[in-house]
Chains A and B, each alone.
Chain A
Amino acid sequence: MAQIFPRWTNQAPTLILVGTLVLGGGGTFGMYWWASPYNTDVGYKPVQPIEYSHKLHAGELGVDCRYCHSYAERSAFAGVPPTATCMNCHTQVKKDSQKLKKLRESWADGKGDKPIEWVRIHKLPDFAFFNHSAHLGVGVGENRAAVGCETCHGRIDTMDVVKQVQPLSMSWCLECHSNPAPNLRPVEQVTAMGWTGDLAWRDKAQHIAGTLNPPGSLSAAQKVLPDGKLATYSTAGCNGCHR
């Protein structure tokens, strides 16, 4: 009887098996890698209406972050400064610069009621609630600590145009939430750029991290306190960030 299939079909099972493994594994890895915020979001650097340079203001001139982002320690949102904040200086400094044309247009009414439309860079999905104030100072007395601006936003003092440096993905949040100590610093150093703690601080941070229980932390659900008692924390669940 004549052969039904040509000779190359002898290879077909091997090819199908290898193909399935390569395509299946490659597809999964591809989605994991190229479709993740590490690849899609990091480096986002939109053109802003005014060529404002953080490198000049925060870096060279040394303006404190909170001078403009003044709600960071008190509210969920750090706040984008109104035109009035800019005009504190720019009524005196560089008041005729071509680069500041849009700023003067916004200030034409003397109140800045028509604000400058800055483009937002750091965005979270609607179902995730981030609170700046909760990260810029937690704990009581001796055990007070914070996460620095640069931990999430990068070296703003070196950026002419601000770009996103961290993925803001959930696993990135959880990295710190399950092990906060390496990212803690004294509250006074919140806005410091390029800050590193000494060994004494590292020990202290470890201790402070033990007293904190950020949502999603591995130690949060149940935890043995130093006195041997078992404590359960209500912030352990998903609803810390997903209300």
Chain B
Amino acid sequence: MATANPTTLPDDPKLRGDVVLDEQTGGREPLVRGDYTFHDITERVLAVNEKPIAQTPSPFKFGIALAAAGFAMFGGYVGYLIWEGPGIWGNNTPVAWAWDIVNFVFWVGIGHAGTLISAILYLFRQKWRTSINRYAEAMTIFAVLAAGSCVVLHTGRVWMDYYLFPIPNQMGLWPNFRSPLEWDVFAVNTYLTVSLLFWFTGLVPDFATLRDRATVKWRRLFYGILSLGWRGSMRHWVTYEKAYQILAGFSAPLVLSVHTIVSFDFAVSQLPGWHTTIFPPYFVAGAIFSGFAMVLTLMIPAREWLGLKDLVTVKHIENMNKIILVTGSMVGYAYGMEFFVAAYSGNQYEGFTFINRAGGPYWWAYWIMMTCNVITPQLFWFKKFRTNVKLTFVLSIFVNIGMWFERFVITVTSLHRDALVSSWDYFVPVTEVLFLTGTFGLFFFLFLLFIRFFPVMAMSEVKGVMPQANPHWEGYQHGQHGHGASGAVPAGAVAQKDL
């Protein structure tokens, strides 16, 4: 049992008995702060989910009302778009791709952090992923849905979208399998399917916990269906761990493949500014960059409001900031390399495109991108800034803005100066702002529902990285009664322990 009420713990780590550098954690900072028992973790994580509907906190109600309004607006906008067609956008020759594709690439990119955290960090035994992976996976799925709605709607005649799939038909018509846009359909669908399965598999034991603790019938039924008859037997855990590992193996290549194929949408064409072989690695780095920024943007307020600061510690934020620094620098290198290649190739069209990008009519977009993606993340070289939560929050939003502008710069500035000077044009959005806002409404609506009804952390995994899960755990050092070493290790911790 808990010795102290977790909600009244003092802020000073020393006062509340944190083990800052402990041999139990191999000399590293512990991933879970505070002197919690396993049961405390369950209570903490499920506190949000188990509040009766009538007692939903008002900030949450306000948030979900706002998101629902955005989502409803999106519904209306989609109706308007289908009725009128893409003529309600500013797209026109030569800028035939603009915010529709920019938003798509933006959202798909954001999804990548979830897969990276859940699959690659899992396979590399990075224990710090445990308290953020569920959250990031949910973000992935909702971001892919937002991205999907952009592409599905940008076709104009949305009722013909089934042509994207190779369905046998009496016309003898098939999609163009040589087109990267078709590869995109498969890449994004695979990505959504695997991410959804991965997310759901991880959720099953936690749903079962919610089911077993449910006090009202609808919760028992709702979580009962979702937990698929999970009883927590050893055999269940063994199967679960295998399934989880297999899905992690499936997902890992997707981190690289999906955005590679998205980059092919551009790179396979012959337009100067798009026709570049560095696009795949550059896009993947950018995707992880933007995804981690979005995780931080969502996580920092959430850990504050949900009272999970001890489970998502400054250590987690610092680790994510390091990834932002690395991927941000990779993206910066790619920006530089594009200019170098344009100069070194001696191709005047390529050269013009890049000079025009930085100094042409859209210079402002380029420099917003450079500032937010390359310059400001460099602050994270310093530990002082990396561990500053408020600054991290601001910079993560900067990265989100910068990465949106990166896609805008690539798409629009490459197109607006056609090969024929008489076609040159300056793209101005008309109603597209509502489109982007609407996808945010969709995203946040789903995300807030997720926070309210699904466990935001994989409880068994978090328990697995606590010192108590270590077989050599000597008992609570501060003399509290409660769980000893034996028998307290949840089955989910077994895999983690072995890592």
Contacts from A to B (Cβ < 8 Å): 1, 4-5, 9-10, 13, 28, 32, 36-38, 167, 169-171, 174-175
Compute how far the CA of A4 lies from the CA of B172 in the bound complex, rounded to whole angstroms: 50
Instruction: Establish whether residues A170 and B171, one from each chain, have CB atoms under 8 Å apart when the complex forms.
Output: yes
Establish whether residues A171 and B228, one from each chain, have CB atoms under 8 Å apart when the complex forms: no
7 A-B pairs whose Cβ atoms sit less than 8 Å apart in the complex:
A4-B224, A10-B229, A13-B228, A37-B170, A167-B170, A170-B172, A171-B169
B168: A residues at CB distance < 8 A: 28, 32
Q: How far is the CB of B215 from chain A (nearest CB, A)?
A: 12
Tell whether B167 is near chain A: CB-to-CB under 8 Å: yes
- Contact residue among A9, A13, A28, A169 (Cβ-Cβ distance under 8 Å from B167): A28
**CB of B173 closer than 8 Å to a CB of A:** yes
Task: Note all chain A residues with C-beta closer than 8 A to B224.
Answer: 4-5
User: Which of B173, B228, B229 touches A170 (beta carbons < 8 Å)?
Assistant: B173
Contacts of A9 in B (CB 8 A): 229
Which B residues lie at the A interface, using CB under 8 A?
167-173, 211-212, 220-221, 224, 228-229
Q: Contact at A171–B170, with CB atoms within 8 Å? A: yes
A173 shortest CB reach to chain B, Å: 8
Are B229 and A171 in contact (CB-based, < 8 A)?
no
Give A35's nearest chain B residue, CB to CB: B170
Task: Specify which of A4, A10, A169 is in contact with B220 (CB 8 Å cutoff).
Answer: A4
A38 touches B170 (CB 8 A): yes
CB distance from B277 to the nearest CB of A (A): 26
User: Could you tell me if B211 and A4 are in contact, using CB atoms closer than 8 angstroms?
Assistant: yes
Complex Cα gap A13–B230 (Å):
13
Mostly, the B contact residues are loop
Q: Given A4-B211, A28-B168, A171-B169, 19 more contacts at CB 8 Å? A: A4-B220, A4-B224, A5-B224, A10-B229, A13-B228, A28-B167, A32-B167, A32-B168, A32-B170, A38-B170, A167-B170, A169-B170, A169-B171, A169-B172, A170-B170, A170-B172, A170-B173, A171-B172, A175-B172
Residues of A within 8 A of B167 (CB): 28, 32
Across-interface contacts of B220 in A (CB, < 8 A): 4
CB distance from A61 to the nearest CB of B (A): 37
Residues in chain B near residue A1, CB distance under 8 A: 212
Query: Is B169 within 8 A of A4, CB to CB?
Result: no
Inter-subunit contact A4/B221 (CB<8 Å): yes
| Residue of B168, B170, B173, B211 ringed by the most chain A CB atoms within 10 A | B170
Cα A79 to Cα B315 with chains together (Å): 83
Nearest chain A residue, comparing its CB with the CB of B170? A36
Contact B171 A171 (CB under 8 A): yes
Cα–Cα distance between A239 and B172 once the two chains are bound (Å): 16
A123 to B478, CA, bound (A): 89
Nearest CB of chain A from residue B179's CB, rounded to whole Å: 15
Distance of A167 from chain B, by nearest CB (Å): 7
CA distance A142 to B220 in the complex (A): 82
Q: Does the CB pair A32–B228 fall under 8 Å?
A: no
Nearest to B225 among chain A residues (CB) is: A5
Residue ID in chain B nearest A40 by CB atoms: B170
Residues of B within 8 A of A174 (CB): 172
Q: Tell me the complex Cα distance, A170–B212, Å.
A: 58
Residue of B nearest to A4 (CB): B224
**B212: A residues at CB distance < 8 A:** 1
Which of A5, A10, A13, A175 has the most chain B CB atoms inside 10 A of its CB?
A: A5
Chain B residues contacting A36 (CB-CB under 8 Å) are: 169-170
Q: How far is the CB of B201 from chain A (nearest CB, A)?
A: 14
> In this complex, what residue of B is CB-closest to A32?
B168
CB-CB under 8 A from B229, the residues of chain A are 5, 9-10
Query: In whole angstroms, what is the CA distance A169 to B171 when docked?
Result: 6
Q: In the assembled complex, how far is the CB of residue A168 from the closest CB belonging to chain B, in whole angstroms?
A: 10
- Once the chains are docked, how many angstroms separate the CA of A74 from the CA of B212? 81
Contacts of A13 in B (CB 8 A): 228
A9 to B168, CA, bound (A): 35
Residue of A nearest to B228 (CB): A13
